[in-house]
Chain A
């Protein structure tokens, strides 16, 4: 005897299958994402709760690594230096990038050549950038000391002083990464609708008024995305510092990236290094959530 399928049940099953299909199809991608992206983070977090000695995993350390870094003044110094670096470098780069983009957005003669020249620093490998600037700043063979001396300003010995080395690093970073902000902002400027700007000009608005009341608000979402991306990147600055100062003099350029690297690979305290990075990740996540909220609110207001 053949069973007759219940049409209601079969239709429900069909609908269920239909609803599940996209998730089933997504599963391989989700698994790949979990393996490539999430597992390393999970592994890192797990390592932050382990103790390592003689290159061996000695087992669980509980929250000891977090307690240790909480009481480590060098860690907090590195966090402070990282924050100082980001707070100074990123706004300077954004402002310069904006100015350059505004300059080049107009159809100047040789504008395309200027654009190419402006983005060149960004295309150089960070390690090479570090080497270039180390040669520029070096007190024995660099060009900064003779230049200052020629101008009667003495010899700054940039890398031999705390403030000199720190601002030397900011200058390097500005030179290298302003082009990125310039490019993003330039693209943003090109995407702004021209009608409101033209209307403002017809209404007699000056260029400054047009910029502050129309261009800048329209550009704000792009600027926020650019600043957010650059901030994440700046927090992780490593190669240039490694080559330029190694984190010195003293601890003046020791960003958290350098300190955690040393903790992991010089002092072989992998657990502590991971605790540092997890703490940093938590700070960054909070920062990013705030940035995303801000962008959303801003976009809604602009709309």
Chain B
């Protein structure tokens, strides 16, 4: 019989030596890490089988019907499960970019803002839909489809892509576009020109009670969105075909002067206004008209938010020389590392089909992408703004298609904000103010594009 100490029946009661603790700890660690490494890829692979797709997106109310209803409907009709991951706009832009550059395969479809397309397509963050065999529904409004092409079909092209054939890299899923919102009490019919709006605004203006016009005046993207429909309708271009800025000429200056002419009838502090301040003025019945993107259609008849339910009508933004609504669609691309590109293609073809788009328009009056949906009598009867969205998309003018567009927009948006502040404080000399700030912006943009290279 051995003289080794007899162990107790319950191993947990036995005191452990230091060596045993280390040994067991090491074994435990190996098991935990080993199993993580061993099983994680299998789980990830399992998650990306042909029977499922993963969509990543930013949060936006316009996308809610997709999340809440259409993804489920797709699963029901096809058996393909849809995972839908939402995050904030800025975070999603970075996530999507990192995911695509590293081809992680975490997502199959990216829902994007259309100005991401040049960077994502040129950087191969998304795949060519043409090469994947995507079939475009001919019912989709052509201007919406063009937002997904790289290089662009029309307008200025970067030198490196000047001779490349435009390929479809993304397909529009929400036709977001700027439209005119006007109060029927002051405009029995949709105003046709900016002069019409000026006349009514001036005549109806009552200090602190009713403003003739409201706008997004805050620097950067918001004031650019205010200016673009004016600029385009006066016949100016953001950039010409040779990338020279086109807004500092007579037409662009006249457009900005027209915006300044509304200053006496606009709410005080408009230089700090963004959508969240501009739209309530309209919904409180304190404004005759304004331009905004289609997201606002969902609140104009909501009695919780609007005091003028049923009184706000919509139309394409007014024309002067021509129509020129700014377009900013939501658009879907397939991730470069997608593990189920065919499932993603199936989803996108299904969602942009005329049948589903009709349902999309009928569910809350969403900005559908097909002509038949936007003119569907059943949908239009309930959601009167749908034809205005179609008109606006058909007459829209896109922003410059380049990865440097945000910087160009920032330069112009800062100059416009400074011009607006100066015009508000001086109350005169609008032409000179407009000329000075637009010329400065044009010079800065040209300098920046030259610095970046690939334009001139």
Chain B positions within 8 Å of A, measured between CB atoms, are: 90, 93-94, 97, 100-101, 119-120, 122-123, 125, 217-220, 267-273, 277, 280-281, 403-404, 406-407, 410, 414, 417-418, 421, 424-425, 451
**16 sampled A-B residue pairs with Cβ under 8 A:** A54-B119, A54-B122, A55-B100, A55-B101, A55-B123, A138-B272, A140-B269, A155-B268, A160-B268, A160-B272, A165-B272, A248-B220, A262-B410, A266-B410, A267-B410, A268-B406
Contact B219 A248 (CB under 8 A): yes
Contact B451 A68 (CB under 8 A): yes
Q: Which of under 10, 10 to 19, 20 to 34, or 35 or more describes the interface residues of A?
A: 20 to 34
Chain A contacts of B406 at CB under 8 A? 266-268
Chain A contacts of B123 at CB under 8 A? 53-56
* Alpha-carbon distance A246/B101, docked complex (angstroms): 29
Once A54-B403, A266-B410 are accepted as A-B contacts, the answer to whether A249 and B417 lie under 8 Å apart by CB is yes
Which of these, A139, A250, A267, contacts B404 with CB under 8 Å?
A267
Closest to B447 in A: A71
Contact A249 B418 (CB under 8 A): yes
* Alpha-carbon distance A249/B418, docked complex (angstroms): 7
Chain B contacts of A248 at CB under 8 A? 218-220, 272, 414, 417
Which of these, B90, B219, B277, B417, contacts A140 with CB under 8 Å?
B277
Closest to A264 in B: B94
Which of these, B100, B122, B403, B421, contacts A249 with CB under 8 Å?
B421
Contact B90 A265 (CB under 8 A): yes
Chain A contacts of B403 at CB under 8 A? 53-54, 268
The answer to the question of A159 belonging to the interface, with a C-beta cut-off of 8 Å to chain B, is yes
Which of these, A145, A155, A160, A269, contacts B270 with CB under 8 Å?
A160
Q: Which applies to chain B's interface (DSSP): helix, strand, loop or mixed?
A: helix
Which of these, A68, A140, A157, A265, contacts B281 with CB under 8 Å?
A140
* Alpha-carbon distance A268/B404, docked complex (angstroms): 8
The answer to the question of A130 belonging to the interface, with a C-beta cut-off of 8 Å to chain B, is no
Chain A positions within 8 Å of B, measured between CB atoms, are: 53-56, 68, 138-140, 145, 155, 157, 159-162, 165, 245-251, 262, 265-269
Interface centre among B100, B281, B410 (most CB of A within 10 A): B410
* Alpha-carbon distance A245/B220, docked complex (angstroms): 11
Contact B451 A250 (CB under 8 A): no
Chain A contacts of B451 at CB under 8 A? 68
Contact A268 B271 (CB under 8 A): no
Once A248-B219, A251-B414 are accepted as A-B contacts, the answer to whether A160 and B94 lie under 8 Å apart by CB is no
Contact B101 A56 (CB under 8 A): yes
Task: Please give the distance in Å from A241's CB to the nearest CB on chain B.
Answer: 12
Task: Please give the distance in Å from B213's CB to the nearest CB on chain A.
Answer: 15
* Alpha-carbon distance A139/B280, docked complex (angstroms): 13
* Alpha-carbon distance A246/B100, docked complex (angstroms): 28
Task: Please give the distance in Å from B218's CB to the nearest CB on chain A.
Answer: 6
Task: Please give the distance in Å from A147's CB to the nearest CB on chain B.
Answer: 15
Chain B contacts of A155 at CB under 8 A? 268-269
Task: Please give the distance in Å from B262's CB to the nearest CB on chain A.
Answer: 15
Contact A161 B414 (CB under 8 A): no
Once A140-B280, A268-B119 are accepted as A-B contacts, the answer to whether A161 and B125 lie under 8 Å apart by CB is no
> With contacts A140-B273, A140-B280, A267-B406 known, what are 4 further pairs, Cβ within 8 A?
A55-B123, A246-B219, A246-B220, A250-B421
Chain B contacts of A250 at CB under 8 A? 219, 414, 417-418, 421
